[in-house]
Structure 1
Amino acid sequence: MEIPSPALHGGTKDSVGDPATFGVLTISDRASKGIYDDESGPAILNFFHEAIRSEWQAFYRVIPDERPLIESTLKQMCDEEGCCLVVTTGGTGPAPRDVTPEATEAVCDRMMPGYGEQMRAISLKHVPTAVLSRQTAGLRGKSLIMNLPGKPKAIRETIDEVFASVPTCIQLLEGPYLETHDAVVKAFRPAGLVRACRKDGA
């Protein structure tokens, strides 16, 4: 499934940040079959447009809840397309076909459980069923993979808050320096990781 190409890149050339590549992966049987339009992937892309000041481009896919396909797509986004961050949406609940966390763990070298813990804590402020979420996050090479909720409202409730630590994580993985718009999400970095100007001195 494709969305208009202008929505797949953003940021500004005068940012102190580096160009970055993101992956957005919607995992849904019905959306992948066209039974309904995917709104979750575009919600993530809209967040990038609002929050990321660095220049960026994104690869966006909508696939069914099939674990082998999820795993192969995550590998492709990390290894072939060079995404420093891959954000998934969907497939994190207790239903039999919800296998996104298992696929994520299978392709990751190391897990980052704190992201799942923080997202559930955020969601529990809004709905008691947040305890049913099995969202997780992990690292594959120099890529961070994060599982987000499946609904646009829940996506924005969580990513707007949890993203504050993501630029530092990516930087520590020797990935690009991400500059954010502070009014949307203020990236938290130790003082030694803060960049005052672009690498080329501009």
Structure 2
Amino acid sequence: MFRVGIITASDKGSKGEREDLSGKVISDILERKGYIVEKYIILPDNEEDLSREMIHMSDDLKVDLILTTGGTGFSKRDVTPEATINVCDRMAPGIAEAIRYYSLSITPRAMLSRAVSGIRKDTLIVNLPGSPKAVKEALDYIIDSLHHGLEILTGRTGECAR
């Protein structure tokens, strides 16, 4: 099965001032689907730290998928998309677009998401929203397609046709 890294971007969460419910939602959903969570970490909203951890998970741990939560809004401290763009070799905009499209059917505030998705070497990186509810909705919506994309990316299948 696929190996995953989870990164929560949260100044308060990294200091222990707020419980990270979103990261736990991601972990629970993935484990139920048979994914292996290799690493789960909470980091402050710092572009350099986030990029460094994505590189570590991709290049050293060789996870197949990195899911981030938080840091995708309009606050000056929200830098998860920039950190993700910095480390990706190729972008995969359809994933973030699909999440926004689906989320807009729930709330018009979804248009405020700056989330991105891309590929670093053999690792897919996807920015998810910050709230537990939005994380669950987004991940439930994309998980089956993500699975197929990971099969293609990792060479486990080469067939896209149904």
Query: After superposition, where does 1:39-50 map in structure 2 within 5 Å?
Result: 39-50=21-32
Measure how far apart 1:190 and its partner are: 3.4
Change (3 A) 1:155 1:147: same
Structure 2 unaligned residues grouped into runs of 5+ = none
2:73 match = 93
User: Are 1:190 and 2:156 matched, yes or no?
Assistant: no
Matched residue type, 1:135: A
2:55 match = 75
1:162 match = 142
Identity %: 39
Change (3 A) 1:95 1:172: same
Measure how far apart 1:125 and its partner are: 1.3
3-state SS of paired residue (2:23): helix
Structure 1 distance, partners of 2:39, 2:156, is: 17
Of the candidates 18, 40, 45, which is equivalent to residue 36 of structure 1?
A: 18
Conserved in 2, the CA contact under 8 Å of 1:20 and 1:176? no
* Residues paired across the two proteins, number: 160
3-state SS of paired residue (1:171): helix
1:109 match = 89
Structure 1 distance, partners of 2:154, 2:10, is: 32
Conserved in 1, the CA contact under 8 Å of 2:64 and 2:154? no
Structure 2 distance, partners of 1:39, 1:144, is: 23
Structure 2 distance, partners of 1:175, 1:24, is: 22
Of the candidates 13, 21, 27, which is equivalent to residue 3 of structure 2?
A: 21
Query: Which contiguous aligned blocks of 4+ residues in structure 1 show a shift greater than 3 angstroms?
Result: none
Measure how far apart 1:33 and its partner are: 0.6
3-state SS of paired residue (1:88): strand
Q: Max radius of gyration: which structure?
A: 1
What does the per-residue CA deviation read over 1:1-54, in whole Å, with 9 as the maximum and x for residues that have no partner? xxxxxxxxxxxxxxxxxx33100000000000111111111000011122x23x
The structure where helix makes up a greater share of residues is 2
1:127 match = 107
What does the per-residue CA deviation read over 1:94-131, in whole Å, with 9 as the maximum and x for residues that have no partner? 11010100110010000001011111111111111111
Matched residue type, 1:92: T
Conserved in 2, the CA contact under 8 Å of 1:109 and 1:138? yes
Query: What TM-score comes out, normalization by structure 1 length?
Result: 0.75
Change (3 A) 1:69 1:105: same
3-state SS of paired residue (1:121): helix
